[in-house]
Protein backbone atom coordinates (compact mmCIF):
# COMPACT_ATOMS: atom_id res chain seq x y z
CA UNK A 1 0.00 0.00 0.00
CA UNK A 2 1.30 3.44 -0.97
CA UNK A 3 1.78 5.94 1.86
CA UNK A 4 -0.47 8.87 0.95
CA UNK A 5 -2.38 11.45 2.95
CA UNK A 6 -5.64 9.61 2.21
CA UNK A 7 -4.23 6.27 3.37
CA UNK A 8 -2.88 7.84 6.56
CA UNK A 9 -6.32 9.33 7.29
CA UNK A 10 -7.87 5.87 6.86
CA UNK A 11 -5.32 4.31 9.21
CA UNK A 12 -5.90 6.97 11.87
CA UNK A 13 -9.66 6.55 11.47
CA UNK A 14 -9.42 2.79 12.03
CA UNK A 15 -7.13 3.29 15.03
CA UNK A 16 -9.60 5.76 16.53
CA UNK A 17 -12.49 3.31 16.10
CA UNK A 18 -10.47 0.60 17.83
CA UNK A 19 -9.44 2.99 20.62
CA UNK A 20 -13.07 4.02 21.21
CA UNK A 21 -13.91 0.39 22.00
CA UNK A 22 -11.06 -0.04 24.50
CA UNK A 23 -11.03 1.00 28.19
CA UNK A 24 -9.41 4.43 28.74
CA UNK A 25 -6.66 2.89 30.87
CA UNK A 26 -5.56 0.64 27.99
CA UNK A 27 -5.63 3.55 25.53
CA UNK A 28 -3.49 5.71 27.82
CA UNK A 29 -1.02 2.88 28.39
CA UNK A 30 -0.64 2.13 24.67
CA UNK A 31 -0.29 5.86 23.93
CA UNK A 32 2.45 6.19 26.53
CA UNK A 33 4.32 3.20 25.10
CA UNK A 34 4.06 4.60 21.56
CA UNK A 35 5.29 8.04 22.65
CA UNK A 36 8.20 6.46 24.54
CA UNK A 37 9.04 4.32 21.52
CA UNK A 38 9.01 7.35 19.20
CA UNK A 39 11.23 9.36 21.56
CA UNK A 40 13.72 6.50 22.03
CA UNK A 41 13.71 5.79 18.30
CA UNK A 42 14.50 9.44 17.57
CA UNK A 43 17.33 9.42 20.11
CA UNK A 44 18.77 6.22 18.65
CA UNK A 45 18.63 7.57 15.09
CA UNK A 46 20.30 10.85 16.15
CA UNK A 47 23.06 8.99 17.99
CA UNK A 48 23.98 6.95 14.92
CA UNK A 49 24.50 3.88 17.11
CA UNK A 50 23.85 0.48 15.52
CA UNK A 51 20.55 -1.19 16.41
CA UNK A 52 20.67 -3.53 18.17
CA UNK A 53 23.99 -2.59 19.68
CA UNK A 54 25.53 -0.14 22.11
CA UNK A 55 22.84 1.86 23.94
CA UNK A 56 22.88 5.56 23.06
CA UNK A 57 22.30 6.65 26.67
CA UNK A 58 24.89 6.30 29.43
CA UNK A 59 24.38 6.97 33.15
CA UNK A 60 27.36 8.67 34.84
CA UNK A 61 28.46 6.82 37.98
CA UNK A 62 31.65 8.57 39.16
CA UNK A 63 32.81 12.13 39.76
CA UNK A 64 35.90 12.03 37.54
CA UNK A 65 34.45 14.66 35.15
CA UNK A 66 33.19 17.14 37.77
CA UNK A 67 34.41 20.76 37.99
CA UNK A 68 35.09 22.62 41.23
CA UNK A 69 33.39 25.87 40.18
CA UNK A 70 30.45 24.39 38.26
CA UNK A 71 27.01 26.03 38.61
CA UNK A 72 24.28 24.81 40.94
CA UNK A 73 23.02 21.45 39.68
CA UNK A 74 26.08 21.01 37.46
CA UNK A 75 24.36 22.22 34.30
CA UNK A 76 26.74 22.09 31.35
CA UNK A 77 29.13 19.64 33.02
CA UNK A 78 29.14 15.87 33.54
CA UNK A 79 28.34 14.71 37.07
CA UNK A 80 27.24 11.47 38.75
CA UNK A 81 23.55 10.90 38.07
CA UNK A 82 23.54 12.60 34.66
CA UNK A 83 22.39 10.73 31.55
CA UNK A 84 24.63 11.38 28.54
CA UNK A 85 23.84 10.69 24.90
CA UNK A 86 26.65 8.77 23.17
CA UNK A 87 26.90 9.80 19.52
CA UNK A 88 28.61 7.19 17.34
CA UNK A 89 32.30 7.62 16.45
CA UNK A 90 33.50 5.99 13.24
CA UNK A 91 36.92 7.55 12.60
CA UNK A 92 39.65 9.40 14.45
CA UNK A 93 38.48 12.61 12.76
CA UNK A 94 35.10 12.39 14.51
CA UNK A 95 36.81 13.34 17.79
CA UNK A 96 38.30 16.78 18.49
CA UNK A 97 41.02 16.57 21.13
CA UNK A 98 41.65 18.97 23.98
CA UNK A 99 45.13 19.94 22.74
CA UNK A 100 44.02 20.57 19.15
CA UNK A 101 41.56 23.42 19.80
CA UNK A 102 41.11 26.60 21.79
CA UNK A 103 37.63 27.39 20.53
CA UNK A 104 35.56 24.20 20.66
CA UNK A 105 34.30 23.46 24.18
CA UNK A 106 32.11 20.71 25.56
CA UNK A 107 31.10 20.13 29.18
CA UNK A 108 33.26 22.85 30.68
CA UNK A 109 36.53 22.36 28.78
CA UNK A 110 38.10 22.08 25.32
CA UNK A 111 37.63 19.09 23.04
CA UNK A 112 35.30 16.10 22.96
CA UNK A 113 34.42 13.73 25.79
CA UNK A 114 34.38 10.08 24.72
CA UNK A 115 32.87 6.93 26.21
CA UNK A 116 35.11 3.91 25.72
CA UNK A 117 35.66 0.29 26.77
CA UNK A 118 39.01 0.00 28.62
CA UNK A 119 41.37 -2.10 26.48
CA UNK A 120 38.32 -2.86 24.35
CA UNK A 121 36.95 -5.24 27.00
CA UNK A 122 33.19 -5.59 27.34
CA UNK A 123 33.45 -7.04 30.87
CA UNK A 124 34.74 -3.74 32.28
CA UNK A 125 32.70 -0.64 33.11
CA UNK A 126 32.91 1.92 30.27
CA UNK A 127 34.85 5.12 31.01
CA UNK A 128 33.71 8.61 30.03
CA UNK A 129 36.69 11.00 29.86
CA UNK A 130 38.01 13.80 27.67
CA UNK A 131 40.17 13.02 24.62
CA UNK A 132 43.40 14.96 25.26
CA UNK A 133 45.52 14.13 22.19
CA UNK A 134 46.23 11.43 19.62
CA UNK A 135 49.41 9.34 19.74
CA UNK A 136 50.47 7.93 16.37
CA UNK A 137 52.73 4.87 16.62
CA UNK A 138 54.91 3.86 13.67
CA UNK A 139 55.67 0.16 14.02
CA UNK A 140 58.26 0.23 11.22
CA UNK A 141 60.49 2.77 12.98
CA UNK A 142 59.22 2.16 16.53
CA UNK A 143 58.60 5.89 16.95
CA UNK A 144 55.76 8.12 18.11
CA UNK A 145 54.19 11.30 16.81
CA UNK A 146 51.87 13.58 18.80
CA UNK A 147 51.17 16.54 16.54
CA UNK A 148 49.24 18.49 19.20
CA UNK A 149 52.39 18.65 21.35
CA UNK A 150 54.92 18.96 18.50
CA UNK A 151 56.35 15.49 19.11
CA UNK A 152 57.57 14.05 15.79
CA UNK A 153 59.09 10.58 15.34
CA UNK A 154 60.27 10.37 18.95
CA UNK A 155 61.40 7.14 20.60
CA UNK A 156 58.97 7.75 23.48
CA UNK A 157 56.22 10.16 24.49
CA UNK A 158 56.91 12.82 27.13
CA UNK A 159 54.17 15.37 27.88
CA UNK A 160 54.79 17.12 31.24
CA UNK A 161 51.37 18.77 31.09
CA UNK A 162 49.82 15.29 31.25
CA UNK A 163 52.42 13.81 33.65
CA UNK A 164 53.51 11.36 30.96
CA UNK A 165 57.26 10.63 30.78
CA UNK A 166 59.00 8.15 28.46
CA UNK A 167 55.62 6.62 27.66
CA UNK A 168 55.85 3.80 25.09
CA UNK A 169 52.43 2.45 24.15
CA UNK A 170 52.02 -0.57 21.89
CA UNK A 171 49.74 1.12 19.36
CA UNK A 172 48.15 4.40 18.24
CA UNK A 173 45.18 5.95 20.02
CA UNK A 174 43.76 8.74 22.16
CA UNK A 175 45.21 9.82 25.50
CA UNK A 176 42.23 10.44 27.79
CA UNK A 177 41.73 12.12 31.13
CA UNK A 178 38.92 12.94 33.54
CA UNK A 179 38.56 16.69 34.08
CA UNK A 180 38.67 16.13 37.84
CA UNK A 181 41.62 13.72 37.74
CA UNK A 182 45.29 14.63 38.14
CA UNK A 183 46.62 11.92 35.83
CA UNK A 184 45.49 10.73 32.40
CA UNK A 185 43.99 7.27 32.16
CA UNK A 186 47.22 5.94 30.61
CA UNK A 187 49.39 6.98 33.58
CA UNK A 188 50.52 4.01 35.74
CA UNK A 189 49.10 5.61 38.90
CA UNK A 190 45.66 6.03 37.31
CA UNK A 191 45.19 2.28 36.75
CA UNK A 192 42.37 2.89 34.28
CA UNK A 193 43.63 2.01 30.80
CA UNK A 194 47.37 1.69 30.23
CA UNK A 195 47.12 1.83 26.42
CA UNK A 196 45.84 4.69 24.21
CA UNK A 197 42.18 4.40 23.20
CA UNK A 198 41.70 2.83 19.78
CA UNK A 199 38.76 4.08 17.71
CA UNK A 200 37.08 0.66 17.80
CA UNK A 201 37.08 0.79 21.62
CA UNK A 202 34.97 3.95 21.60
CA UNK A 203 31.24 3.56 22.28
CA UNK A 204 30.59 7.18 21.33
CA UNK A 205 31.26 10.79 22.19
CA UNK A 206 29.12 12.77 24.62
CA UNK A 207 26.68 14.83 22.58
CA UNK A 208 23.72 15.81 24.74
CA UNK A 209 22.76 15.38 28.36
CA UNK A 210 19.77 14.86 30.63
CA UNK A 211 20.97 16.01 34.05
CA UNK A 212 20.09 14.37 37.39
CA UNK A 213 17.59 11.72 36.23
CA UNK A 214 20.19 8.95 36.08
CA UNK A 215 20.34 9.18 39.89
CA UNK A 216 17.12 7.14 39.99
CA UNK A 217 18.88 4.23 38.29
CA UNK A 218 21.92 4.54 40.55
CA UNK A 219 19.65 4.34 43.60
CA UNK A 220 18.74 0.78 42.57
CA UNK A 221 22.26 -0.41 41.73
CA UNK A 222 25.52 -1.00 43.56
CA UNK A 223 28.96 0.29 42.60
CA UNK A 224 32.16 -1.73 42.25
CA UNK A 225 32.98 -1.24 45.96
CA UNK A 226 29.66 -2.78 46.98
CA UNK A 227 28.04 0.49 48.06
CA UNK A 228 25.03 2.16 46.51
CA UNK A 229 25.75 3.66 43.09
CA UNK A 230 24.06 6.95 44.01
CA UNK A 231 26.53 7.70 46.83
CA UNK A 232 28.58 10.06 44.61
CA UNK A 233 25.61 12.08 43.35
CA UNK A 234 26.04 15.70 44.58
CA UNK A 235 23.45 17.09 46.97
CA UNK A 236 22.44 19.91 44.63
CA UNK A 237 21.71 17.32 41.91
CA UNK A 238 19.21 15.62 44.23
CA UNK A 239 17.59 18.99 44.89
CA UNK A 240 17.28 19.72 41.16
CA UNK A 241 15.96 16.21 40.51
CA UNK A 242 13.20 16.55 43.13
CA UNK A 243 12.20 19.98 41.79
CA UNK A 244 12.09 18.59 38.22
CA UNK A 245 9.91 15.63 39.24
CA UNK A 246 7.52 17.91 41.13
CA UNK A 247 7.20 20.16 38.06
CA UNK A 248 6.63 17.20 35.72
CA UNK A 249 3.95 15.73 37.99
CA UNK A 250 2.26 19.08 38.56
CA UNK A 251 1.69 19.72 34.84
CA UNK A 252 -0.80 16.86 34.18
CA UNK A 253 -2.31 17.34 37.64
CA UNK A 254 -2.96 21.04 37.00
CA UNK A 255 -4.53 20.19 33.63
CA UNK A 256 -6.85 17.68 35.29
CA UNK A 257 -7.84 20.24 37.92
CA UNK A 258 -8.47 22.82 35.20
CA UNK A 259 -10.73 20.39 33.28
CA UNK A 260 -12.57 19.47 36.47
CA UNK A 261 -13.23 23.11 37.34
CA UNK A 262 -14.46 23.82 33.81
CA UNK A 263 -16.88 20.88 33.92
CA UNK A 264 -18.15 21.91 37.34
CA UNK A 265 -18.64 25.49 36.19
CA UNK A 266 -20.57 24.45 33.08
CA UNK A 267 -23.11 22.45 35.14
Q: Is the pLDDT of residue 264 over 80?
A: no
Most confident of 2-11, 126-135, 254-263: 126-135
Bond before 52 cis per omega within 30 degrees: yes
Across the range 113-124, mean pLDDT stands at 94
Across the range 140-167, mean pLDDT stands at 97
Helix/strand/coil for 177? strand
Q: Is the pLDDT of residue 259 over 80?
A: no
Across the range 144-164, mean pLDDT stands at 97
Residue 22's pLDDT band, with cuts at 50, 70 and 90, is low
| pLDDT tens track for 184-195 | 999 999 999 999
Question: 204 with 54: CB under 8 angstroms?
Answer: yes
Question: Ramachandran region of residue 168, left (φ > 0), alpha (ψ -120 to 50) or beta?
Answer: beta
- Give the integer Cα–Cα distance in Å for 144 and 138: 6
Q: What percent of the chain has pLDDT over 70?
A: 82
Q: Is the pLDDT of residue 25 over 70?
A: no
Most confident of 34-43, 120-129, 130-139, 222-231: 130-139
Question: Ramachandran region of residue 187, left (φ > 0), alpha (ψ -120 to 50) or beta?
Answer: beta
H/E element holding 131? strand 127-138
> If you average pLDDT over every residue of the chain, what do you get?
85
The pLDDT score that the predictor gives to residue 1 is 45
For the chain, give every domain's residue range. 1-47, 57-238
| pLDDT tens track for 73-112 | 888 999 999 999 999 999 999 999 999 999 999 999 999 9
| pLDDT tens track for 78-89 | 999 999 999 999
Which residue, among 206, 214, 237, has the nearest Cα to 105 in the 3D structure?
206
Q: Which residue has the higher pLDDT, 19 or 134?
A: 134
Amino acid sequence: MRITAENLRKIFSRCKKIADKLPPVIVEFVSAVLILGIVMGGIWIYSGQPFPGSPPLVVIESGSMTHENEPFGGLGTIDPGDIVLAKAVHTRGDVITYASTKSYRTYGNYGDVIIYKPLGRTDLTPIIHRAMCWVEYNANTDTYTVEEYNIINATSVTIPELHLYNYKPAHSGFITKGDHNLYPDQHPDAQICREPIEVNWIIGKAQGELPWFGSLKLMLSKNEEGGWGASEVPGDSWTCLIISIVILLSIPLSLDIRDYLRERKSK
